[in-house]
Amino acid sequence: MAIDADLSSGLIDEQTAKKRRKELEDEASFYGSMDGASKFVKGDAVAGLAITAINIVGGIIIGSVRHDMPFMDAADTFVKLTVGDGLVSQIPALIISISAGLLVTKAGVSGATDKVLAQQIGAYPAAFGLTATLLVALSLLPGMPMAPFLGMAAAAGYAAWSLPRKRKAEEAARVAAEAQQAEAAPVADEPISTALALDLIRLELGYGLLVLINQPPPGSHRLTDQIRGLRRQIANEIGFIMPAVRIQDNLQLAPNTYVIRVKEIEAGRGDIRPAMLLVMDPRGDAMSLPGEQTVEPTFGLPAIWVEPTYREEALFRGYTVVDPSTVVTTHLTEVIKDNMAELLSYTETQKLLDEMDRSHQKLVADVIPTQITLGGLQRVIQNLLAERVSVRDMAGILEGVSEACTQTRNITQITEHVRSRLARQISDSNTNELGFIPLITLSPDWEHAFAESLVGEGDDRQLAMAPSQLQQFITVVRQTFERHAMMGEAPVLLTSPAIRPYVRSIVERFRPTTTVMSQNEIHPKAKIKTLGQI
């Protein structure tokens, strides 16, 4: 289950998952065989001890009672006989133990037993050397036949000496054969289809930033590890499994420059110092630390590149200190969140449905494709992701789609109904640290102006507002929100449900991070506070 979970989250690929499953299967087979063999050998040993004890007791009784032997004579005679019998009986027990050991080593390995054992024993020449040493020691014991033991020791010693040399010769022959084959094989032209391959997300680094991947400076995190954690973070927060990020060097870039591309199109760029730290003041005040003045690449905030020795002083002053890898990862996070709708393909949508719990598969079968096509559901999810609404609750989204499809086939209206079903989630994500949703409402005049500017029906419904009036609306919204931003507030623009998508389409062009909600998306138990009105 852990392997399948890592595969689903994208932490490992299919080949790695197969390798881990095979290792787990071999390990389970080995321990299962060892458990069965040990129980068998244990039973045989216990039976041998019991038989020995019975022979001793029974022999003494028979000698004393039946043959009228003195107790000590009977004990001396029958204990010797029992010991001799025990030594002889250990020969089959030894054979059984060896057989059990062979079965255990064969467990989990494919192929004929003789070949597998030969490979396993031949893989450790040191074992033959140790065996030869023990055989020589046994041959020197008093009463032991020297010739057989020395003969076996010579054979084991020869195996320990010859096997490493044979292995080196085979390895050299294999390398030579591969080199000869590589020279003889013609250089294959790269298929032209590879030119059509498209990297969904690509991070290009100048050669000066390669140290962030190979050997990051002390106190800095490895860039690849942070990107791996970013994929899991986005999956937990948004419910969207981001594609793998391809990282490559680009000699055409400046040494300390990186570029983020989405579907081969540049979506972000920055310039960082790999051996320094980025310091920012969350209060927006001027910073007095010595360093290089710069602008934070993700949000455009004023910042300073300082030496690592100033880390403690910056933290003491209440500044935010970020290492270079985190700067790149933060920028990559924002770029991905801004382009999630574009990254959600038809295939990824199907994958989201396939990975739902088995208990929800009946819901999927009822909705897709009888009530809405997979492409239609993809557009609904894209509309949600475009406004950074989490799609982890796929069951709730499908239920909302099913309800809306009984009345309309318009994707915009279906999306708005799904948003109302996700009111608790949307309200919670826009609740500030004080426990309420800060709101700026739209005045009745602007509500009426937007409603009167809607023309067309169904899918052809669109906003047709006069340019002068539209510019006036943009100016008022920008001034109002910038005034509240200077006070440290990030309010939500509240509109009526009918015009919300059209207001959002205007606001996202000049304030894409501003959230636009309708009254239907305010959960009944959510606390709200009105800060002003447009």
Per DSSP bridges, beta strands 257-262 and 454-455 are: unpaired
The answer on pLDDT for 219 being more than 90 is no
Q: What is the pLDDT averaged over residues 149-156? A: 85
Judge contact between 238 and 256, C-beta under 8 A. Answer: no
User: Encoding tokens for residue 17?
Assistant: 């998952």
Backbone dihedral angles phi then psi of residue 183, each to the nearest 5 degrees: -70, -35
Q: Do 396 and 518 have their domain in common?
A: no
Q: Do 216 and 304 have their domain in common?
A: yes
Distance in angstroms (rounded) separating the CA atoms of residues 322 and 104: 54
Q: What is the pLDDT averaged over residues 57-68? A: 82
CATH number of domain containing 532: 3.40.50.12790
Q: What is the pLDDT averaged over residues 314-343? A: 89
Distance in angstroms (rounded) separating the CA atoms of residues 520 and 79: 95
Per the domain annotation, does 322 fall within a domain? yes
Judge contact between 401 and 367, C-beta under 8 A. Answer: yes
Predicted local confidence at residue 289, as pLDDT: 84
Q: Do 211 and 333 have their domain in common?
A: yes
Helix (H, G, I), strand (E, B) or coil at 526: coil
Predicted local confidence at residue 100, as pLDDT: 67
pLDDT in tens, 281-324: 877 777 888 888 888 888 888 899 999 888 888 888 888 899 89
Per the domain annotation, does 185 fall within a domain? no
The answer on pLDDT for 188 being more than 60 is no
Measured CA to CA in angstroms, residue 417 lies from 143, 392, 436, 505, 520 at distances of 95, 17, 23, 17, 9
The pLDDT-based confidence of 111 (bands split at 50, 70, 90) is low
Which uninterrupted H or E stretch holds 214? Answer: helix 211-214
Predicted local confidence at residue 87, as pLDDT: 66
Residue-averaged pLDDT of the chain: 83
Q: Do 295 and 397 have their domain in common?
A: no
Domain containing 218 equals 201-340
Q: What is the pLDDT averaged over residues 46-68? A: 81
Q: Do 210 and 331 have their domain in common?
A: yes
Residue 400 has, within 13 A of its CA and on its CB side, a CA count of 23
Predicted local confidence at residue 186, as pLDDT: 61
Q: Position of tokens 């949600």?
A: 384
CATH number of domain containing 329: 3.40.30.60
The pLDDT-based confidence of 215 (bands split at 50, 70, 90) is confident
Question: Greatest CA span in the chain, whole angstroms?
Answer: 131
User: Encoding tokens for residue 233?
Assistant: 């973070």
User: Encoding tokens for residue 144?
Assistant: 């032991």
Q: What is the pLDDT averaged over residues 356-381? A: 89
Per the domain annotation, does 129 fall within a domain? no
Helix (H, G, I), strand (E, B) or coil at 491: coil
Which uninterrupted H or E stretch holds 433? Answer: none
Residue type, 4: D
pLDDT in tens, 389-430: 988 888 999 999 999 898 888 888 899 999 999 999 999 989
For 479, other C-beta atoms within 10 Å of its C-beta total 10
Per the domain annotation, does 487 fall within a domain? yes
Q: Do 460 and 377 have their domain in common?
A: no
Q: Do 27 and 80 have their domain in common?
A: yes
Judge contact between 249 and 276, C-beta under 8 A. Answer: no
Query: Sign of torsion, CA 445 446 448 452?
Result: positive
The answer on pLDDT for 258 being more than 90 is yes
Domain final residue, candidates 321, 340, 359:
340
Per the domain annotation, does 385 fall within a domain? yes
Q: Do 363 and 312 have their domain in common?
A: no
Peptide bond into 369 cis (omega under 30): yes
Q: What is the pLDDT averaged over residues 464-476? A: 90
The answer on pLDDT for 107 being more than 60 is no
The pLDDT-based confidence of 185 (bands split at 50, 70, 90) is low
Q: What is the domain count for the chain?
A: 4
CATH number of domain containing 380: 1.10.8.540
